């Protein structure tokens, strides 16, 4: 195997699928010669041409709607949002149309499309370019939501997302684009709804999503030095959610922490914590379930404020230490 | 060029001050470019080098009590509306002495005292806001007008179309001012429109549309002054399209693969500052030496701004959770 970046893994998945399936195409702003704001589609227009790598005007509502219309009539579009924040402009089409068409039509139609959405903070791009709004979309029946945490998962999950017959929101994290992992050259699929144990441990179950998986891995190394063995579970997909893997881990460890970058209030980690509390794992809990999430603020530009707006490695270490002491 | 400069009424502005402002804008953005390259500024920025005539001329036609809405490429608008470059530089550097305490950064500078309702990270986001500000003027009989800056790319957002129609049916005092710099990021106006002039869209909403050479300070001033008079008299909004060009890349990392170096050179020959300088000299308003002094004065002001910003503190961590809600 060879190491490639998260960004390359996403591009490779799209390119390999597009070579096999003429119904798959990409549309979005500046995805042509510019290669997209984060360079994900770099080189693709050269290979696939402007028919299948379609540069659009700055019109998120129309881009989303056009993707839906194409999907409804037999294509399998991949729409790139330049920043996930702009989903707000595409929201009517995604929430009131894409998510509901199959159900409203009594199961007669399907909308097989992927919305690729770079999210998260850490680049100094401030309040309108740094959000993590995945919980909004996860709330809507009919949409699936994927959040890959490394290059390997990104490639396999994107393949599964493109093959899925539903609208799938694929959350990429800007800070992960340059991170590397071993990624097979051939195309492979990671089923949606299958969590991954990113690190095995016996003392506490830490459920982490997106960029927080990496931070949790670093935190777990530090905690191991204190003799605390953290088990890290990455759900990888929020909808569908593999709650089984989480519950069985909590039953073993007796403790559960959930960490996510999005604003803590109403974030998807709240859903995970609730599901654990409602499950058979409840009787095994030795401590209250805890959540770490973003502060209830828009993301500020000033670097230190920005860092403190979302959980960092030291916050995870401290929270887990406190949790262990309380037992 | 019709009216001799000396005989012109610049709405009470000193013509040499307008020349100074153009240099202040150019030197500010060139300094920002340099500081980004050195890693002294966190985040992203959009420079308006080459587009100095549009903000200066448009704002010269306004009263101090009039308002503007700005864009992601907003440093020029902000300076032309009377901002203090020191507080702007401090904002870009994330310092507490900046216009927004360092929370907003380059894309969110607002200077409410001078009537600048804010830059915007969302393309097209400010257009309906300008309409609302004009509504206040009408409802409260405040008699101010609102000049709404946006780019060519923004006119393909639904917000543009909805806002123009609303302003038109309510006869609101708005001047919709499109800085057509030929590209929305990498999207050329030649590819993103089937019309030659964006100003033609005015017809669809029942308001006058004007095309003007955006690198000609006098021409821009004249057309805006007309639209302002119309708006103030209660006759309603206008759409102005100023053709210009951004000399630098879209934002901090842009290889400019979507355009040619020849095209850039051709536009640089239409440098709005050099053009106005020749006019001032030809008409005997100032000597070359005097104009060079003005430029040097602007340079000193920028140096002062940098040292003010560099010597300013960052916001404290307590400030992270302040300002989310009004009291
Ligand atoms: C709703 C939205 N879509 C996309 C972007 C990303 N983006 C920022 S600036 C820009 C180009 C804007 O072009 P234009 O309106 O012509 O302004 P210019 O940059 O040329 O000044 C794009 C696509 C954004 N900030 N907001
Ligand atoms: Mg433009």
DSSP string, B167-201: HHHTT--EEEEEEE-SEETTEEHHHH-SSS-GGGH
Q: What is the pLDDT of residue A316?
A: 98
The ipTM is 0.97
Residue ranges in chain B modelled with pLDDT below 70: 1-2
Do both A178 and A45 map to the same domain? yes
A191 inside domain: no
Does A107 contact B at CB distance below 8 Å?
A: no
User: How many CB atoms are located within 10 Å of the residue B136 CB?
Assistant: 14
Q: What is the DSSP string of A76-87?
A: EEEEEPSSGGGH
A236 inside domain: yes
**Which residue minimizes the CA distance to atom 19 of ligand 1?**
B184
Does B165 contact A at CB distance below 8 Å?
A: no
A189 inside domain: no
Q: What separation in Å is there between the alpha carbon of B150 and the centre of ligand 2?
A: 8
Based on C-alpha coordinates, what's the Rg of chain B? 19
**Which residue minimizes the CA distance to atom 21 of ligand 1?**
B151
Q: What is the pLDDT of residue B268?
A: 98
Q: What is the pLDDT of residue B2?
A: 65
Token pair for residue A127? 């309040």
Q: Quote the longest CA-to-CA distance of chain A.
A: 60
Where does residue B255 rank: exposed (0-12), middle (13-18), buried (19+ CB within 10 A)? Answer: exposed
Do both A131 and A222 map to the same domain? no
A190 inside domain: no
CB-based contact B102 A29, cutoff 8 Å: no
For A301, which residue in chain B has the nearest alpha carbon?
B103
Q: Is A129 a catalytic residue?
A: yes
Whole-angstrom distance, CA of residue B20 vs CA of residue B294: 6
Nearest by CB to A301, which of B104, B158, B184? B104
Q: What is the pLDDT of residue A1?
A: 81
Does A299 contact B at CB distance below 8 Å?
A: no
Do both A25 and A152 map to the same domain? yes
Q: What is the pLDDT of residue B252?
A: 80
Q: Angle B288-310/B272-282 helices, nearest 10 degrees?
A: 140
Does A297 contact B at CB distance below 8 Å?
A: yes
B7 inside domain: no
CATH number for position A215: 3.40.50.920
Tokens 């960092």 belong to residue: A312
Split into its structural domains, chain B has a count of: 1
Do both A71 and A115 map to the same domain? yes
Whole-angstrom distance, CA of residue B70 vs CA of residue B77: 7
Token pair for residue A36? 């997209």
Nearest atom, ligand 1, residue A30 CA: 23
Does A252 contact B at CB distance below 8 Å?
A: no
Q: What is the pLDDT of residue B102?
A: 97
B141 inside domain: yes
User: How many CB atoms are located within 10 Å of the residue A212 CB?
Assistant: 32
Query: Rounded to the nearest 5 degrees, what angle is found at the Cα of A309, between the Cα atoms of A303 and A310?
Result: 110
For residue B185, the chain A residues in CB contact (below 8 A) are 29-30, 34, 37, 58
Q: What separation in Å is there between the alpha carbon of B184 and the centre of ligand 1?
A: 6
Nearest atom, ligand 1, residue B125 CA: 1
Tokens 């019309």 belong to residue: B195
Strand intervals (E) in B198-266? 209-213, 238-243
Q: Taking the C-alpha atoms of A51, A57, A58 and A64 in order, what is their torsion angle to the nearest 10 degrees? A: -40
Nearest by CB to A302, which of B44, B314, B324? B314
B50 inside domain: yes
Q: What is the pLDDT of residue B253?
A: 81
CATH number for position B130: 3.40.50.970
Strand intervals (E) in chain A? 2-5, 24-28, 53-55, 76-80, 113-119, 144-146, 167-173, 180-183, 196-199, 204-208, 230-234, 237-239, 256-263, 290-294
Strand intervals (E) in A249-288? 256-263
B325 inside domain: no
Does A125 contact B at CB distance below 8 Å?
A: yes
Going by C-alpha positions, the residue among A242, A212, A214, A216 that lies closest to residue A231 is A216
Do both A163 and A232 map to the same domain? no
Whole-angstrom distance, CA of residue B98 vs CA of residue B91: 4
Do both A137 and A8 map to the same domain? yes
CB-based contact A34 B185, cutoff 8 Å: yes
CATH number for position A80: 3.40.50.970
Nearest by CB to B257, which of A34, A59, A308? A34
Cβ of B154 less than 6 Å from ligand 1: yes
For residue B317, the chain A residues in CB contact (below 8 A) are 304-305, 308
Does B209 contact A at CB distance below 8 Å?
A: no
Do both A124 and A244 map to the same domain? no
Ligand nearest to the CA of B249: 1
B222 inside domain: yes
Q: What separation in Å is there between the alpha carbon of B163 and the centre of ligand 1?
A: 17
CB-based contact A58 B154, cutoff 8 Å: yes
Cβ of B152 less than 6 Å from ligand 1: yes
Three-class secondary structure of residue A267 per DSSP: coil
Q: What is the pLDDT of residue B5?
A: 87
Based on C-alpha coordinates, what's the Rg of chain A? 20
CB-based contact B108 A301, cutoff 8 Å: yes
Q: What separation in Å is there between the alpha carbon of B60 and the centre of ligand 2?
A: 22
Split into its structural domains, chain A has a count of: 2
Cβ of B185 less than 6 Å from ligand 1: yes
Residue ranges in chain A modelled with pLDDT below 50: none
For residue A57, the chain B residues in CB contact (below 8 A) are 153, 156, 184, 187, 192
For residue B96, the chain A residues in CB contact (below 8 A) are 302
Average pLDDT over chain B reads 97
Please give the residue range of the domain that contains residue A203: 196-324
A88 inside domain: yes
Three-class secondary structure of residue A132 per DSSP: coil
A254 inside domain: yes
Cβ of B183 less than 6 Å from ligand 1: yes
Do both A127 and A213 map to the same domain? no
Q: What separation in Å is there between the alpha carbon of B152 and the centre of ligand 1?
A: 9
Please give the residue range of the domain that contains residue B105: 13-310
Whole-angstrom distance, CA of residue B151 vs CA of residue A29: 15
pTM, entire model: 0.97
């Amino acid at each position: 195997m060879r190491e490639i970046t998260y960004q390359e893994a996403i591009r490779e998945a799209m390119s390999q699928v597009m070579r096999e399936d003429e119904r798959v195409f990409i549309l979005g702003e500046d995805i042509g010669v510019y290669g997209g704001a984060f360079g994900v589609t770099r080189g693709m227009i050269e290979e696939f041409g402007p028919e299948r790598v379609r540069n659009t005007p700055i019109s998120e509502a129309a881009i989303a709607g056009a993707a839906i219309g194409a999907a409804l009539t037999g294509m399998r579009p991949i729409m790139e949002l330049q920043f996930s924040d702009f989903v707000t402009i595409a929201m009517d089409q995604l929430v009131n149309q894409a998510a509901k068409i199959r159900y409203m039509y009594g199961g007669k139609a399907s909308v097989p499309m992927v919305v690729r959405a770079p999210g998260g903070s850490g680049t100094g791009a401030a309040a309108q370019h740094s959000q993590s709004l995945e919980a909004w979309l996860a709330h809507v029946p009919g949409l699936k939501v994927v959040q890959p945490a490394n290059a390997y998962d990104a490639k396999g999950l994107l393949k599964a997302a493109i093959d899925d017959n539903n609208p799938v929101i694929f959350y990429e994290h800007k800070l992960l684009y340059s991170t590397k992992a071993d990624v097979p050259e051939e195309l492979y699929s990671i089923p949606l709804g299958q969590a991954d144990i990113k690190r095995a441990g016996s003392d506490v179950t830490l459920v982490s999503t997106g960029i927080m998986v990496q931070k949790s891995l670093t935190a777990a190394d530090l905690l191991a030095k204190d003799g605390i063995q953290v088990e890290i579970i990455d759900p990888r997909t929020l909808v569908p959610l593999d709650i089984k893997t989480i519950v069985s881990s909590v039953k073993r460890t007796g403790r559960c922490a959930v960490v996510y970058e999005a604003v803590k209030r109403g974030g998807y980690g709240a859903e995970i914590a609730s599901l654990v509390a409602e499950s058979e794992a409840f009787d095994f809990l030795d401590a209250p379930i805890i959540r770490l999430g973003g502060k209830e603020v828009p993301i500020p530009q000033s670097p230190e404020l920005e860092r403190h707006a979302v959980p960092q490695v030291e916050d995870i270490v401290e929270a887990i230490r406190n949790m262990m002491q309380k037992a | 060029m019709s009216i001799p400069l000396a005989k012109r009424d610049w709405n009470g502005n000193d013509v040499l001050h307008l020349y100074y402002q153009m240099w202040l804008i150019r030197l500010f953005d060139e300094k920002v470019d340099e500081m980004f390259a050195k890693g002294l500024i966190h985040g992203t920025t959009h420079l308006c080098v080459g587009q100095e005539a549009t903000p200066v001329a448009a704002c010269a036609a306004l009263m101090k009590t009039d308002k503007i809405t700005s864009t992601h490429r907003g440093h020029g608008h902000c300076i032309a509306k009377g901002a203090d470059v020191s507080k702007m530089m401090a904002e870009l550097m994330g310092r507490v002495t900046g216009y927004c305490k360092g929370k907003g950064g380059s894309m969110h500078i607002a200077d409410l005292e001078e009537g600048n309702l804010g830059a915007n990270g969302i393309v097209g986001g400010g257009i309906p806001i300008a309409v609302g500000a004009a509504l206040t003027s009408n409802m409260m009989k405040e008699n101010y007008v609102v000049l709404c800056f946006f780019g060519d790319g923004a006119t393909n957002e639904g917000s543009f179309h909805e806002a123009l129609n609303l302003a038109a049916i309510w006869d609101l005092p708005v001047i919709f001012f499109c800085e057509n710099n030929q590209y929305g990021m990498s999207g050329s106006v030649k590819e993103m429109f089937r019309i030659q002039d964006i100003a033609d869209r005015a017809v669809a909403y029942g308001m006058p549309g004007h095309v003007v050479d955006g690198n000609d300070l006098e021409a821009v001033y004249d057309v805006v002054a007309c639209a302002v008079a119309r708006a103030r008299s209660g006759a309603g909004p206008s759409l102005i399209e100023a053709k210009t060009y951004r000399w630098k890349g879209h934002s901090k990392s842009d290889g400019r693969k979507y355009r040619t170096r020849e095209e850039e050179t051709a536009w640089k020959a239409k440098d709005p500052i050099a053009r106005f300088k020749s006019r001032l000299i030809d008409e005997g308003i100032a000597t070359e030496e005097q104009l060079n002094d003005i430029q040097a004065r602007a340079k000193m002001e920028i140096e002062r701004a940098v040292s003010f910003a560099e010597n300013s503190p960052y916001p404290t961590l307590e400030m992270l959770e302040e300002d989310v809600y009004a009291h």
